[in-house]
Each structure stands twice: as structure tokens, then as C-alpha cells.
A and B are shown apart, each in its own frame.
Chain A
């Protein structure tokens, strides 16, 4: 009994020691490579097998599938690199990247909107894709287009019945996101143009899957989803007569979209830079990005800054 106890204790101890070792490893790696990155700029072009190290990317669950899939391909090409992709929300991603726990912070919103100006200034933005959102409704509702004013009316509670916007006589049930959500921030900023308050009786879900399920099942429900989650079980609305599709987003006629950001603290080190370059390479942009329902950042014919000003490229 005593021996086995000792054994367990030593095991625990070894694991603890290993913890320290593990923690030091990536850190020393980074510091060693930071000066190296300055000397050899074209390292990212050649898929060299010398690249080694580990990357931790944390944040937005909307961006997670893309980064996850791209990281798997990147690791296949660079077997010595290990990339870990975590969800947890844009807030967590920005916290951890600015605190130095993560190498990359994934976010659906500009860092300036969540962090203090001084903290946000330290972060370097890498826009890897664009996500567009569309208003979706229960398939039984006989409406297929809503104007901006009508949407504002619905989400601020001034319009409460579908017959007011040309549908049947049915109460409108809002399926919203929590006020801290990046998806909601995007929708309010670009589709409604105003912040809305949480209405009495509105449903709030953070996850796209649950929003979809509830919109599908609840009579009179309206919500909004990223394009990648759309399918036949729900009805997608036109916005001011414009259909939500890749082409309309790219040419700027459909305004409800947001960049997907991958933030680093300061300039990235060699391995992180190679991975970020890979994210915007054609290999990822033309395959995974499209496959997963995002819009390639390179295809956008317009650009938008933090304050929402749109300029043609």
C-alpha cells in the first residue's frame, strides 16, 4: 500500500515537473526564433521542414472550424509544427493574446471594440476571411424580404406581428444573441445601424446551432445566422431586396458582413507568421474558406475600417 502510494506520488510529481518543462519549451522557442525571423524573410515561401514550434490559437467559435481545418493541413506539410485551436469566444481570444497566453487571438470583431485603446494598439490584425450574416425566419412565414427599417422595427419591438410587414397574422418571436456576442454586434452595426435593447420575452442563444433549431421549430421566429449555417430547414430573407450571397457581399451591395481577425501581439514570430501566411494563401482561401461557407478576404472588392467606413479597393 505504502509503495503504491509512493508510486502515485512520484508519478504526480513527474507530471508536475513535466508541466514546467512543457511550459518553458514553447516560450524559449519563441524568444529564440523572434530575432531569427527578421533575418530570413522568405522562410514562409519554402515549405521548409525546418519550421518547428507550437502555436496556440484561441477565440471566436465562428472562426474556429476554419482555423482548425487549415491548421491540420499546415501540420501535414510541417510535421514538426503543432497548432492548437481553441474556441471560447472572441473575448477569451483577445484576453489571452493580449495577456500572452495565446499566440493568436481569433475574433469576429475589431480588437478596438473590446479592449482598451492601449491594449488594442499592441495587437496586429490579420484579416483572413469575411463572414456574412442573413436574417432567417421560420419557413412557415410568408415573407421573403425585409427592409432595414422593418428589421429595426422588429428588433426594437415596434413591429410585433408578421402581418405588419406583409406576412400572415402571427406574433413575431425574436431569437437573438446575448448582448456580448460578436455576431450580434455585427448584425446590429451593419443590418440595423443601431444598438437594440433586449426585449421582454425574446430568446437569446449564443450558439448558431441552437438559434437554427429554435428558428426552425418556433412558429413566427426570426433570428440571424452566418451564411455557413444556412440550409433548407429555415427561410433566408433578402435584405432591402438584396440576396445574401457571396457575390453581393464581395461587391459591397450586401452590407451585413464582418472580417474574421486573427490577432497577434506585436509582429508574429517565424512559425506563427508562416501559419498566418498560409491562412491567406490560395490553398486555404480557394478551398477551405469557400468550403466552410466563409468568403475569401481577397475576393472583397471593398474594405471597411473599424468605424464602418467602406471604401472601394
Chain B
């Protein structure tokens, strides 16, 4: 018994080792396969607009006319691209100062209160479903804008307001991590030179952490760019470039949610929607690369 036991031991050891390796590698392979099939399927669907339906790239990206029912149909996605960019950019502009201030508050000004109250509050914001944000946006923000500003209330401003609250947790948590990771010597040196807290923050802390803070803002923007339901509820969905921030317009995601169910798969209009999804996907890549570039700068 003892003899065989001793002989089995190294064998079992190897088997064990291999189970581990194979299992974990399989998981990774699955992950890689998932993303490749996603890119493949969305790309083949999205590109068929250009190859099968013969719509020119210039039309999609250059035309401001969206007339899927026209004779001939025109599919200009420019208004949606502009809508998506302006909404998410505005959201990031509103959210960035809020998020960074929240992080400064938690790390530099009142760490105790910040950690105890502000952090859970922000984590909770991250957990609220987007449907609920859209619902609150439509019931509170839209009527407010309609009464205060000329226009219908729906539009880029309402969309950006809702999104800015949604992306606040992303920006705050990354900013918090960046500020917390700062070597204490840096700040102490500044204080030792007689600088006030604000001077320290403004001259030393913020410049050093800027790339990391920007990472958070870009990630927040990426999330805003891809958000669908909440935006669709408050943006108004007119396929035009709006004349003001309070005029109905569309984003890439809102057009897709609005029309995907109404069109038949394989038709030209449906294929164009897939092209829009492809654009969304490509933008994700762009955002990730920007983030990586910023991270490299932060580490330098």
C-alpha cells in the first residue's frame, strides 16, 4: 500500500497540475473566442450595408439626411454620431468636476466622513439600473428643462444630465484610486514649503494625477456613449442635428433601440442599424486605446 501510494503521488501531482492549467486556459480561450465572434458577427452584419446594399461610406458618415422610407432611401448617420458625441462629451464635462471634487473630498479633505458616507453613496449610484435613471429623467429633468428653457425639454441637455449622474461613479472611483496611490512625500514636501492645501492640490497633486484622472473621464465617456435605454427616453429621437441643447435629437444607441424591433432582419434598413452598432463597437476600441495611452503616460 505504502509503496503504491508513494508511486502514485508524483503522478497525481502532474494530473492535478494539468487539470488546473487546462481548465484555466480553456476559460481564457472561451473569453477570446467570445470577443472574436462578437466582432466577427457584428462586423459582417454591419459591413453588408456597404457590400450588399451598395450604400457608400460617404453617405453614412457624411450625409445629414436620415430617410429610410424615402425614394431612394437615404441613410446619413451623421446626426446620430454628432448626437452621441455631444451628449457623452457634455455628460463628461458635467461629471468630471463633480467626480474629481468628490475624490478630493474623500482623500484629501475629510477622509473619514468621505469614506464612511460619500463612498457608499457613490457605489449605490453605480448600482441603480439605467431604466430607473431614464424614468426619473423623463419625470423630473425633462419637465424642469421644459419649464425653464425654451424648447421641449427633451434633447442633448436632458440626456447629458441623466448620463452625467450615471457615469459619476466611474469617474469618482478611478480618481479616488489615483489620488490614494500618490506617494505621501510629494504632498508633504509641498506643505513643508509653506503651501496651502489648495496650492498643494492645484500645483502638485492634480498635475501629477492628471493622466489617471483623464482615464476616468474617458472611461465615463465610453459608458455614456454606449448607454441606450436611459438616453432614448429623454433625447427625443428626431433624426436631425438639433439647433439647441433643448431640441429633440438622436444618438446611435437611441436609433438602434427605437428601430431594431420594427425592421426585418436582412433588409437594408436593418443592415444600416447593424452598421451603427458596428460604429458603436469601433468607438469602444477607440476609447480603450485612448485609455491605454493615458495609462502609459500615467505610469511614466
Contact = CB atoms under 8 A, between A and B. Distances in A.
Nearest to A176: B238
A114 interface: yes
Interface in A195-218: 195, 197-206, 210, 213-214, 217-218
B270 interface: yes
B138 A201 contact: no
A54 interface: no
A197 to B, nearest CB: 6
A204 B237 contact: yes
A160 to B, nearest CB: 14
Interface residues of B, number: 37
Contact of B146 (A88, A178, A195, A218): A218
Contact of A205 (B19, B67, B237): B237
A204 B250 CA distance: 9
A180 B153 contact: no
B69 A217 contact: no
B143 A217 contact: yes
Contacts of B19: 2
B240 A210 contact: no
Interface in B64-119: 66-70
A86 to B, nearest CB: 10
B239 A198 contact: yes
A201 B68 CA distance: 18
Given A88-B261, A178-B258, A201-B242, A95 B248 contact: no
B197 to A, nearest CB: 47
A180 B247 contact: no
Contacts of A217: 143, 146
Contacts, number: 97
Contact of A180 (B233, B236, B269): B269
B261 A91 contact: yes
A115 interface: yes
A95 B264 contact: yes
A90 interface: yes
Contact of A181 (B23, B248, B262): B262
A195 B69 contact: yes
Contacts of B66: 198
A199 B238 CA distance: 7
Given A217-B143, A218-B153, A203 B236 contact: yes
B258 A206 contact: yes
A92 B243 contact: no
B266 interface: yes
Nearest to A96: B265
18 contacts: A88-B261, A89-B260, A91-B262, A91-B265, A94-B264, A95-B265, A178-B237, A179-B67, A179-B69, A200-B238, A200-B242, A201-B152, A201-B243, A204-B248, A206-B261, A217-B143, A217-B146, A218-B146
Given A92-B261, A200-B240, A201-B243, 19 more contacts: A5-B23, A88-B261, A91-B261, A91-B264, A94-B264, A95-B264, A95-B265, A114-B263, A179-B67, A179-B259, A180-B68, A198-B66, A198-B240, A200-B243, A200-B247, A202-B238, A203-B154, A203-B248, A204-B238
Interface of B: 19, 23, 66-70, 138, 143, 146, 152-154, 233, 236-240, 242-243, 247-248, 250, 255, 258-267, 269-270
